[in-house]
């Protein structure tokens, strides 16, 4: 069997998000199926060497498809876009690729939003689409942080993007949402019943070394992409400050991420760190990150929006209780009062998160740790995930 794993801007070095899920699916295919897999990565930028920019005649001769070598033995093919200055053009149906995609026996699309799957032309092979959220929902957490002119440019394209989303929903593709809210929304609109599938994680070896003694002294921790304002770093730090002042003293706050922290001005951040025990680590190795997770007490997630949240699932794999903003993704791994708490979004979020942090800190962290681990083993452990994916891919598609 020959399988195409289709995504955008594939990079093994990029941390989190779609790339992380793509790598997990690739590992699952290698572990559970006898197949030949190829990664097909579409460009999401006009700057890509395979793309054509309508404003730059020099790009008109760019080679649209090229081989990019191998990733751990799996061939990687990159495909450029035409006119990606406009967002909806990145997701246009690529009918010229019908012959290319028909060489495969099965196609798996890994994306954040449904519009991307619209690129797949009408083919004679089964297509599965794994995704996290809706573009419309995601944008609610983005517009306030955008320049007005960019907001206007994106809003004017919404009718085209809505049409592309509708085409995917009404296609014969098998849709695989990552959370229950997305599953419910799709169920009411799709011709085919969607199936929830969670990316799986290997149970960490460090879990057996984790001690639940003296958790009151262990640091709080949060992991994510520093360059992504949707992760809510500024309001997480502000909530920690409020809780720290109220309590008089709290364990250290450890922030781990990739790239640079953009939510807070560097000078302001340095001033905050001089008054509060906040430690920031950028671009750690997986081993370094896991070592800090293993020694932490509570995982904090203050995101404005999460389709799922791989970093939080990594945290519960170590048995960490989770305090999270109420997102569609967080509801999949946080059971209020059992292994953590969900904090409603809204104007009072910072104060509410600070109160919830103190409430979590004063709870029985040992019991919460055990509940987190149980949720991980039941829903997100690698073997469970791979078994479910194998079953889904084996289902007949009419």
> 136-194: per-residue pLDDT in tens?
988 877 777 778 888 888 889 999 999 999 999 999 999 999 999 999 999 999 989 99
**Could you please report the per-residue DSSP string of 40-73?**
EEE--STTSTT-B-TT-GGGTT--SEEEEEEETT
Query: What are the DSSP calls for 95-160, one per residue?
Result: GGGHHHHTTSSEEEEE-SBGGGGGGS---SS-EEEEE-B-HHHHHTTTGGGS-HHHHHHHHTTHHH
Same fold, 2-200+382-393 and 205-380: yes
Q: Which two tokens stand for residue 199?
A: 């990316």
* CATH 2.40.30.60 correct for 205-380: no
Tell me the pTM.
0.91
pLDDT surpassing 90 at residue 76: yes
3-class SS of residue 252: coil
User: 324 pLDDT band (50/70/90 cuts)?
Assistant: very high
CA 105 – CA 256 distance, rounded (Å)? 40
* Cβ-based neighbour number of residue 141 at 10 Å: 18
Determine which of 61-70, 306-315, 316-325 has the lowest per-residue pLDDT on average.
61-70
Contact between 186 and 194 under an 8 Å Cβ cutoff? The reply is: yes
Domain limits, the chain: 2-200+382-393, 205-380
CA angle (156, 162, 163) in 5-degree steps: 110
**Residue 217 half-sphere exposure, CB side, CA atoms within 13 Å?**
3
How many CB atoms sit inside 10 A of residue 81's CB?
25
Order of strands, edge to edge, in the sheet holding 278-282?
Answer: 278-282, 253-258, 220-225, 298-301, 322-325, 340-343
- Average pLDDT (237-263) is 94
Q: Over the chain, what is the mean pLDDT? A: 91
CA-to-CA distance for 126 and 76, rounded, in angstroms? 21
- 6-47 pLDDT, tens digit per residue, is 999 898 666 568 988 999 999 999 988 889 999 999 987 767
Q: CATH assignment of 2-200+382-393, given 3.50.50.60, 1.10.150.120, 3.40.50.2020, 3.40.50.2000?
A: 3.40.50.2000
Residue 395 pLDDT greater than 90, yes or no: no
Alpha-carbon gap, residue 370 to 347, rounded angstroms:
33
Res. 221 pLDDT band, cuts 50 70 90: very high
Measure Cα distances from 371 to 120, 137, 295, 334, 385 in Å. 41, 30, 17, 10, 19
355 class by beta-carbon count within 10 Å (0-12 exposed, 13-18 middle, 19+ buried): middle
Pairing between β-strand 127-131 and β-strand 174-177 as defined by DSSP bridges: parallel
């Amino acid at each position: 069997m020959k399988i195409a794993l289709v995504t955008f801007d594939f990079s093994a070095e990029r941390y989190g998000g779609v790339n992380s899920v793509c790598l997990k699916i690739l590992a699952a295919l290698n572990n559970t199926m006898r197949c030949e897999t190829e990664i097909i990565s579409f460009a999401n930028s006009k700057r890509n060497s395979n793309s054509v920019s309508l404003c730059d005649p020099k790009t008109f001769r760019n080679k649209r498809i090229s081989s990019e070598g191998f990733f751990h033995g799996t061939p990687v093919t990159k495909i450029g876009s035409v006119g990606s200055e406009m967002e909806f053009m990145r997701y246009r149906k690529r009918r010229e690729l019908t012959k290319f995609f028909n060489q495969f026996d099965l196609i798996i699309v890994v994306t954040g939003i449904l519009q991307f799957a619209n690129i797949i032309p009408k083919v004679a092979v089964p297509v599965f689409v794994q995704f996290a959220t809706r573009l419309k929902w995601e944008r609610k957490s983005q517009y306030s942080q955008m320049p007005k002119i960019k907001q206007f440019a994106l809003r004017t394209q919404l009718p085209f993007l809505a049409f592309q989303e509708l085409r995917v929903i009404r296609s014969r593709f098998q849709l695989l949402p990552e959370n229950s809210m997305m599953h419910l929304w799709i169920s009411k609109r799709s011709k085919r019943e969607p199936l929830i599938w969670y990316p799986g994680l290997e149970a960490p070896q460090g879990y057996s070394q984790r001690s639940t003694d003296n958790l009151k002294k262990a640091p709080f921790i949060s992991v994510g992409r520093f360059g992504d304002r949707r992760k809510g770093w500024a309001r997480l730090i502000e909530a920690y400050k409020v809780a720290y002042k109220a309590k008089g003293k709290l364990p250290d706050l450890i922030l781990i991420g990739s790239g640079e922290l953009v939510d807070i001005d560097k000078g302001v951040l340095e001033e905050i760190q001089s008054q509060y025990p906040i430690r920031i680590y950028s671009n750690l190795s997986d081993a370094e990150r896991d070592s800090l997770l293993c020694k932490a007490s509570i995982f904090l997630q203050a995101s404005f929006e999460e389709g799922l949240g791989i970093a939080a699932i990594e945290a519960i794999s170590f048995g960490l209780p989770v305090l999270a903003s109420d997102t569609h993704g967080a509801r999949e791994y946080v059971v209020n009062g059992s292994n953590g708490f969900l904090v409603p979004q809204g104007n009072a979020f910072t104060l509410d998160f600070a109160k919830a942090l103190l409430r979590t800190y004063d709870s029985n962290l040992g019991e919460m740790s055990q509940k987190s681990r149980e949720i991980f083993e039941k829903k997100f452990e690698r073997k469970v995930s791979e078994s479910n994916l194998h079953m889904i891919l084996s289902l007949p598609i009419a």
